[in-house]
Amino acid sequence: VEVGLLSNQAMYYLVAGRTPVRAGNAHPKIQPQQVFACKVGEIVLVVGNDSQFQKLCTVLGRLELADDERFATNAARVRHQEILLPQIEKAFARETRGYWAERLSEVGVPCGPINSIPEVFDDPQVKQREMLRYLPHPAGSLVPQVVSPFRFANAGLEFQVPPPLLGQHSDEVLRELGVDDEKIAQLRKRGIV
Q: Is residue 183 part of a domain?
A: yes
Shared domain for 72 and 119, answered yes or no, is no
Torsional sign, CA 79, 81, 83, 88: positive
Is there a single domain that holds both residue 53 and residue 110?
A: yes
Q: How many domains does the chain have?
A: 3
Digit-coded pLDDT (tens) for 19-28: 887 777 888 8
Same domain (yes/no): 38, 106: yes
Q: Is residue 104 part of a domain?
A: yes
| Greater pLDDT, 23 or 86 | 86
| Judgement on whether residues 88 and 120 belong to the same structural domain of the protein | no
Query: Measuring CA to CA, which residue among 52, 61, 14 is closest to residue 32?
Result: 52
Same domain, 34 and 109: yes
CATH of the domain at 98: 3.30.1540.10
82 falls within a domain: yes
My answer on whether 39 and 108 are in the same domain is yes
**Of 53-57, 114-118, 156-160, 181-185, which gets the smallest average pLDDT?**
156-160
For residue 98, the enclosing domain spans: 30-114
d(CA 121, CA 118): 5
Looking at the structure, tell me whether residues 127 and 57 fall in a common domain: no
* pLDDT, mean of residues 40-58: 97
For 82-111, give one letter per residue: b (16+ CB within 10 A) or e.
eebbebbeebbeeeebebbbebbeeeebeb
Q: Is residue 145 assigned to a domain?
A: yes
Residue 71 sits in the same domain as residue 124: no
